[in-house]
Structures are given as structure tokens and as C-alpha cells.
Structure 1
Amino acid sequence: MRPLADIRIIAIEQYGAGPFGSVHLADLGAEVIKIEEPRSGGDVGRYVPPYNHGEDSLFFETFNRGKRSLSLDLTTPAGRAVLDDLVRNADAVYSNLRGDVPAKIGITYPQLRHLNPAIVCCSLTGFGMTGPRAEQPGYDYILQGLAGWMELTGEPGGPPAKSGLSLVDYSGGLVAAICLLAGVHAARRDGVGMDCDVSLFDTAIAMLTYPAAWHLNAGFTPERTHHSAHPSLVPFQVFATADGWIVVGCAKEKFWRRLVAVLALPALDDPRFATFATRREHAAELLSLLDAAFATRTSARWLSLLEPAGVPSGPVNDVAAALRDPHTLARSLVVETDHPHYGTVRQVASPVRVGDDPPAYRRAPRRGEDLGYVADLLGYDEARVASLRSAGAFGEDKT
């Protein structure tokens, strides 16, 4: 039995951030019933190019494996009645909508507790459900700019740059998943549910971590660093080699001593480079020596010397190299599912590992394909399903 096999989540979610959080819960065994709005064609992630076909896309597969899908028009009384029945039989309602929308469509705890006093309502929004930006849509790219990330990213003197991945979305999804699990734990203990107000903005600001603390307490002004250097530890950055780039980091004094031994440069045995503080003070002189040294050999040759010596280091891979890395394969981080259009879909696994049994991965659902499953779950007979269908609950015309 998977760790979360006894948790049922009603997910009113779309695109990236929300589905990224719930896909890990599904991988852990939670039953995630995805509500898709039929008039707009469901989750917009189904249509993300370039690898899309009809209502299927590899983007959607990535964020929705292991879930179930129900097309449900919540603007109709019949559709709302089905949602109410699901809430009565669920542990959580999970959404990623604009901050003012959960209350507008009636999925906050005060609006649902009459159906289920223990329901947990976890809302992942762009800016939270309070504050002056609550009604604004939140997107990863915008949040990276607003929270100061883009100003910190890139080479000094260059334009602001975003991360190569949607890290605000992904981090926000993981924070929401943690909040949901904490809420369900408390609700089972106390018998009372709650709202979980999670936002991408809060997540992005919180991830400023120690540079924020340095600024708030000591007036520190974060700046971009050459070659992605650490703001205080020297050396800890990328270095150009004869044929590429490697990352080398000395986060402890013992690593610096090991690096000096590998490089065997008499100039490094200098009091100016003896400690964290002095290496930072004389970073320009030190990095000039290191840049010249690393440029003399290939990346593979340097790593063959650094790794056995215990110096933290690694290649700067492209995505293809990262996915075929022997450690990626040894950790079973590429998984397969069967799909009626794409055949075998290969994608990356969840990093969440609990216990010894590997998760069983199932493809993402076709839109609305789990109506029969939900009908059985709620005890609907054929007459009840037909009545709901004719009333527009599932998006069909009432005629």
C-alpha cells in the first residue's frame, strides 16, 4: 500500500504549478481527481506545443500522471452538486487559481465545511488570498522578476535573466503539497479542516533566504557574480576548461587544501589564500590563477583528478547528458508509461522516495475519462448520471 493511498484530493488545477505539486502526491499513492472545465477544453496544459496532439501533450503527461480526470461544469447547479458530493467524500480540495477566485467559486473552507467539517482547502495562488496583489494573475516568469531573482541572475553588466526552469512554479507546487499534507494530518487529528493559503509570491520571497537576511540585518546588496560564483565562498563557481565547463566548489577548508594538492601550483601556497575570509578578499588574484590552470586540460581530465581527490566538482551537462548520466539511470529517474497516442512515454520520476517499494506510474488521464469511476465512487446509478448529463454537469448540451 502506497504511503498516501488513503488520501483523496479533489484538484481544481491547471498548467504547471498546481499540477506539479499534486503529481508527487499521486506518485505517493494519493487519489487525485482532477476537475476539468469542459467548455474551455479542460486543463490548458493539454494544448502546450510543440509536442501536442489534440487534447494530449507531453507537457500534460509530465504534470498529470497517475491522476483521474472528470469534466465538470461548476457553473451549473448539476455540476456543483457533483462537486459537493466529492467534497463529502474527500480529504482535500486543492486548487491553483487567481487569489480572488477560490472564494468566488465557493471552494474555501468556510464555504465547504458544512459538507465536510474536516475538509482541507489548499489554494495555491499567484499572490495569496490577501494583500494588494491578490487579484492579479501570477506566472513564474513575472514572479522571478518581481521577487528579485532575475536581477541576481546572469553575468555582471548583462540583462536580467530568468532561471532555465520554472523554479517558482515548481517550488510553489512542492510548498502547496507540504501544506496540504500538514492540513490533512491536523484535520485527522482534530476533526476540523482549514484553509491553506499558499502563494508563488510568498514562495519566491522565502527562497531569497540568507541574502535576504544579510540585507535585512546588515544592509547587504546582492549582486550578480562572474561565472555564477557563490556570493561569499571562493572558489565556488564554473570554470572554463580546454573543451567545456566544470563546477568546482570549496565549501569547507579541507576541500580547498585538496584542490591545492591537485593543482600543484606553488602560487596557491600564499597566505592571501589561506582562509575563507582571505580568499574572498583576494578573489580577483586567486580566480585569475585558477582560470588559467583549468583552461589547460579537458573537463573529463580535470574531473578524473578532482573527484577521486574528494574535491566537490562536476560537469556542466546539457539536458541530454544529464538524462543519460549513469547516476540518473542507477537511481531509476527515467520512468515509462503507456499512452494510446504516444505509445511509450518516457519522463523523469518523482524525487520523493518513501519506503522500499517503487511507485507504479500510470499515464495522465484523457479528459473526462474517469466519469464512470467517479460515478461508482459516489454511488450514482445510470439514471443519476443521465440526469446529471442532461443538466449540463459534464459539459454536454442540455438538449
Structure 2
Amino acid sequence: MPELDFTGLKDAAYRGFKPQFETVVAVARRRRRRRRVLTVATAALVLAGSGVAVAARPDAPAPPGVGIGGGRTPDFIPVPGRTPAPGTDQGVVTGRPAAGDLDHIYLRWSECGGCRIRWAGTEDGGRHWRTGDLPASVNGTLDLRAVGPRTLVGRSVPRLAPDNRDDEWIASTDGGSTWRKVQRRTVEALPAGWAVLSPRSGPTTEPLVAVDPATGDVAQLSRRPALHNAMLVESVPAEAGLWVSGFTGEHVATDGRITGAGGAVEVSRDGGRTWSRHAFPDDLSASDDVGGPAVATRDGRTVYAIGRVRGSLVVWRSADGGATWTRAAGTAAVGDRTIRAALRPDGVLVVQAGISAREDPLMLASSDGGATWRRTALGPGADPRPVPGGFVQTGWPDSKGVWLSTDGTTWSWLDPPELR
């Protein structure tokens, strides 16, 4: 909000026997009971009071939008099995799209699980694409990120590297045309104005990193996250501070399965030098397996921590930047679905419960700070990433493209290119 990517093995220092993040999520999905496949009627509409706009199906007139052109606009939640799982050898294997802004979109890809890793990029919202090779080992993995319109970084990790000690960082400041190796440096606080990243998608025990959007230089905090299963909240603007969600402890089941205990959030307003923590009661969590509560904020002052407790949606609100919290009155039945949440620019709090068709997803909206909730149309907006000029939300791993929005409310879809 986690957005998934093919980023290598879980670092051995943190529960070395745990599988990759993608594997954890896949197993969790298979564990969940089979639900009916929801076919989303995505004719262009705005539900009364919801403000969630969804682009039309291909058999309807295509609405104008960034980067769509005459291309197909898919259902918001694709049918299970339409996209091969990451890491399989079923045709082209792609990673999560990386957006420098609404026009500059990049992704890493290969023609098979063991082939050389390449990149593809567009500078005009998908009308034209370029491709090239990435200087990364074919026997490892590479996570590609955009930290500016034309500035990219990649973290390459040999597949069997213990504790990721043999990782390498590469950077490009010309949209992927040329690359250089980057030696990351360790700092006590991340530099102001640099793009802050988690070193991997999903939960991690590794310190946060920051990348200079002008040069591609990489700095890493000297301290690891204090929370278990820590996840950087990527949906908040940079000026709202650094927010991390996770757990204060863990449950170990009799079958050896490990889940988080004591959902909590931490915030830093000095680049990660110091942190403030708040732990919530009842094991508040957005998922059974990864991450703590979902966090939604736009200014770092009004903040929501959202999750589920025993199958019910639970919302906590802070009006003072996380110093004190009050539980909101509203709730909804969400079962064991994965929770994503965001505070839209128009002040509507949106929650997506379920991130794949197997979870029978539903969308909820609140205009009164979580006091009441209403069902609304499925659509993007609950897991956005702010970029210059608007917001992006990927469909990874269930679909390979990206949603684009100038206002965080109305979205258009960008299909990935044909890669062969």
C-alpha cells in the first residue's frame, strides 16, 4: 500500500525458514476458503455519494484518460489464473510497474524465470515503449524502482545470497539508457528531499533506504526497524513523515506458522533518526500473514489505522499526528480479507477488503472519519502512490498494468506493452 514484486528471498536473519513474500501471500490465499469469483461490472459510473469512478469495459466507449489511448481497460479485480504467478516460466515474467510520474512508467521483465533481466519504459503515458538490458545477474532477482521521471534504481540480489549481503544497487538518470553501480552509504538519518523506499517489497527487517532523485545515490539507515514484519507505508506524502506498520510481537502456532501480535505503527519526522510508536489492542492487522494495520493520512496530522479484528473492520483515528488515538464507531463485516486503505484528496476514507478475486473483494467508503461506512463500487484508490502530477496504483501481482489518476478519485488503466 502491500504492493508485491519479485524481489528475492526473505532475509535469513528474520526467521530464516520463512518463504518469500510472494510465496507467503500465495499460500495464504490458497488457505482461504474458495469464494465465488466476482465479475465486476465496470461500466463508467460514479455511485451516488461515493465518488469512485471506474473506466468502461472494452465493449463500451472508452473514456478519456492518461495513457489509455484505444487500449483495453480490464476489470478492476481480474479473474483468477489470468496472469501467471510471479516466478513461473509461463511466458514473459514481469515485475511491479514503477512510476516516475503519470507519463514515465517502467518495469523489469524477462522471457523466462532464468533468462536475462531487461527493462521496458515509456515517457508518453504508454503510447511508445523502449526496452533494454539491465546489468543484473540472471541467477538473481532485481527490484526496479522509479524515484523521479527519469531516475531509476534497482536492487539486485543473488538468489541464494545469505542475509542479502551480496546485493548490488544500480542507478540510471536517463530513463534506463545507461546504468552505473551505486555504493550505498549508511546514515543516521535519511537526507531530506530524497525518495524513501523499503529495500524490498513487503515486510522486512532491513533498514529503510533513500535515493537522491537527481543522482540515484543510495543512503541506508544504520538501524533496522523495531517492529516485526515492518512495512513502510508508501501511500502517504513525503511531508507527512515516515510511517511504518508492523507488530510488537509474534504468535507461533503449533504447526510452526508465525503471525503478528500487537499491531502497531511508528512515525518519524526527522528522517528516521527517532521514532514514536503506538500499539493497538486486539491484534489489529490488515492481513493474517504480513504487515500490521493499514495507515491512511494526507498531512501526517489526521491519521487512520485500519484493520480487522475477528472478522470486523476496526478503525482508529488520531488528530494529533499519532500521539493519541480514538476508536471510530463504524464497522463492517470483512471476514479474513486483506485490508488496504487510503484517505482521498476529497476527504473520503476508502477501504478495499480483498486484493484478489479469490477473496471476493468489496469496497467501503466513509465521509465522516469512520463513524459510518457504505458499500461502493470496486475500483482503485485504496492503495495509491503519490507521484508528480497525481497518483498511481498497480494491480500487481494479479494484473501487470497500472492505474493512473490526476486527482486520486477518477482513474484510468495502462496496459503493459507486448514484451517478446
Q: Which has the higher helix share?
A: 1
Tell me which protein shows more strand as a share of its residues.
Answer: 2
Where relative contact order (Cα < 8 A, 6+ residues apart) is larger, the structure is 1
Which TM-score band (shorter chain)? under 0.3
The TM-score normalised by the length of structure 2 is 0.26
